[in-house]
Structure 1
């Protein structure tokens, strides 16, 4: 059976590569990621799930903007240690595709709202340049570039970022579909992901290898990828069967951390955040409002007013959101590591925000993916990831192009 080799750039904890690994026709040669916790988790996953002996070498923790060193190796770096580099690692091996997507916060509409400069000065706006340098170096048949729809409207320096990307891609000898808004925006809830999550999936084809690139790409987006759509999955489908975590009468300490909810189970990563008595009362009231069919606190204005009444603070956006059992979740964001108020469990008797395991299930990570960092780091890397269930379907569709 023909194996297609790939490398994963901006790999995170491996959500995108996980789906490709599940397809036995793909083999990951290497991954690049610069944050410590995602690297640690990806190495652990590759070693324990996919039985990769050299996982620690295969995942290169380094800054992609230092491209020459990434390719040729670096030594005794105070932050990144030493490695012989991608060139030495890939020597003698064919490379069929490169997958990845630079951090999306600089392109996201939510990120621009939160940032005082609208993300105009964020270095992450230009990380695609490092990605394309790697593409130019290894010249794979195709590449996959995943990001948020906000990239289609982002204008760092006043220039639409998508224009910069298109020009750089064309100069590199590749071509992408001519209308990204029409073809490349994907609603992952249509592919079995129990979550409202829209993303732009850019496929770049090497122009000297593919005739009629536009025809092939449009066929991919309108015929081949949609073959893998399935019925919408809900929050109930994803998390209902996990053990219930009830509020405790009195908080306790476990391994040095305060606990506000019960712990009587052995499911990895299924522990509630600590919540104050006030927040527990609010969560219970909001979930009961929906359970009882009153819907007093479902509008943005009602939720903002409630937040002000209860905390004496104001917010431009509503802080609270209760997940609905019968619908997909709202988007699981990286920001979840700071704030769980917009991901409140729908069961009023539990009165809490979602756990790391519940966030992982809503992102379609298998239960045997055990996250081994702090809860905050785990939430962040899960929110940043591509849902593995979607990436598995993407891999199946991409085989047509290869």
Structure 2
């Protein structure tokens, strides 16, 4: 039996792609409001999974307009027309609703960058739309993914996670009692070649008051999901077989690197001679193991020496061949000074394809939008390699729940 699922905040489809790889899910619909992400997801579903009606299944719409999302909308100036989620669900059971609201409002980095600590960001409360859709479709299981910073986010003085817990509780869903202990997972433990902590919140519909759903959730995190852990992978495992991209000896304002591999997304952004020089110095330091620039203060001093400017935050980070990457963020769309390639001769930051590799997107997952949009959707995604494991674990949980319910009815 394949579980019928709806994906919310689908992005380019990292979580969805992992679920599809299991071949145990039937996608009813995916909701996403950004057009580059929708185009990328449509291309993937049509070309990889042969979905002839991908255009219909992808709802490019604002999830905050929940009633219209459910019932359909016509001739909207931003989102055109669609018959809505209800028409796709067609009175059949929805087994799983998955997805996670945009994380920028909860992330620690986002709160540091924003002068108001993201307190006024509308994205803080997008989970309310998620809950409204769960209430409407009543899936047996929900999968809610977000950043570790959600645990401490309290834009109006009350912890967001407490609001989320109450919201799900009010509509008859149970989530685990200790989110930090159980739901906070480091995806590096599941074969993703980067340190990436994420909250994986599983919710179960309470169908029987005599069942202890907390025990079931504890068992899921301790015994089901953990079975999918594996040996740690590093940057070398992820990107070392991609062809090198070297700086040109005579760069122009438009072209500074060879960029001739013809591999989708494998081309370097432009870097000026000063940045190339700094990248080479830092990568050589990591490669030699001299660790001269391992501290934030040393990096700030290097920046001052090379630019004559002072900075309160260091701007550089070089990947290490023999370690997992640091977290791939959506901010790579704007930041070309972090995630520096570990080869000192290449003198560049990583490409879209390298970021996708570290995020475990397969090479046949194509990113054909602008570099900025591609970095954004890759950085915001759930790594598909982990998502496949999560999808398989959710199948196990679904089967276990059905067995428990059957035993209760006997």
Separation in 2, partners of 1:393, 1:186: 13
Separation in 2, partners of 1:307, 1:172: 53
The aligned residue for residue 129 of structure 1 is 128
How far 1:272 sits from its partner (Å)? Answer: 0.5
Separation in 2, partners of 1:307, 1:101: 37
The aligned residue for residue 12 of structure 1 is 11
The aligned residue for residue 242 of structure 2 is 242
The aligned residue for residue 213 of structure 1 is 213
Separation in 1, partners of 2:247, 2:192: 29
- For 2:98, what is the secondary structure of its paired residue? strand
Instruction: Work out whether 1:342 is the aligned partner of 2:342.
Output: no
Q: After superposition, where does 1:3-402 map in structure 2 within 5 Å?
A: 3-208=2-207, 211-252=211-252, 258-402=254-398
- For 1:11, what is the secondary structure of its paired residue? coil
| Superposed CA RMSD | 1.1
- Tell me the alpha carbon deviations over residues 112-154 of structure 1, each in whole angstroms, 9 at most, x when there is no partner: 1010000111111000000011100000001000000110100
Separation in 1, partners of 2:157, 2:307: 38
2:287–2:320 contact (8 Å) kept in structure 1: no
2:31–2:58 contact (8 Å) kept in structure 1: yes
Q: Give the TM-score normalised by the residue count of structure 1.
A: 0.97
Separation in 1, partners of 2:379, 2:39: 16
Separation in 2, partners of 1:209, 1:302: 59
Separation in 2, partners of 1:113, 1:230: 33
1:20–1:27 contact (8 Å) kept in structure 2: no
Separation in 2, partners of 1:252, 1:223: 56
- Tell me the alpha carbon deviations over residues 247-287 of structure 1, each in whole angstroms, 9 at most, x when there is no partner: 0012258xxxx221112322111000111111111111111
Separation in 2, partners of 1:58, 1:312: 53
Does the C-alpha gap of structure 1 residues 313 and 74 become closer, same or farther in structure 2, counting only changes over 3 Å?
farther
How far 1:29 sits from its partner (Å)? Answer: 1.0
Separation in 2, partners of 1:8, 1:313: 46
2:260–2:267 contact (8 Å) kept in structure 1: no
Q: Give the TM-score normalised by the residue count of structure 2.
A: 0.95
User: Which deviates more, 41-50 or 304-313?
Assistant: 304-313
User: Which deviates more, 207-216 or 85-94?
Assistant: 207-216
- For 2:199, what is the secondary structure of its paired residue? strand
Unmatched tracts of structure 2, length 5 or more: 399-410
- For 1:201, what is the secondary structure of its paired residue? strand
- For 2:202, what is the secondary structure of its paired residue? strand
Separation in 2, partners of 1:315, 1:86: 49
Runs (4 or more) in structure 1 with deviation over 3 Å come to: none
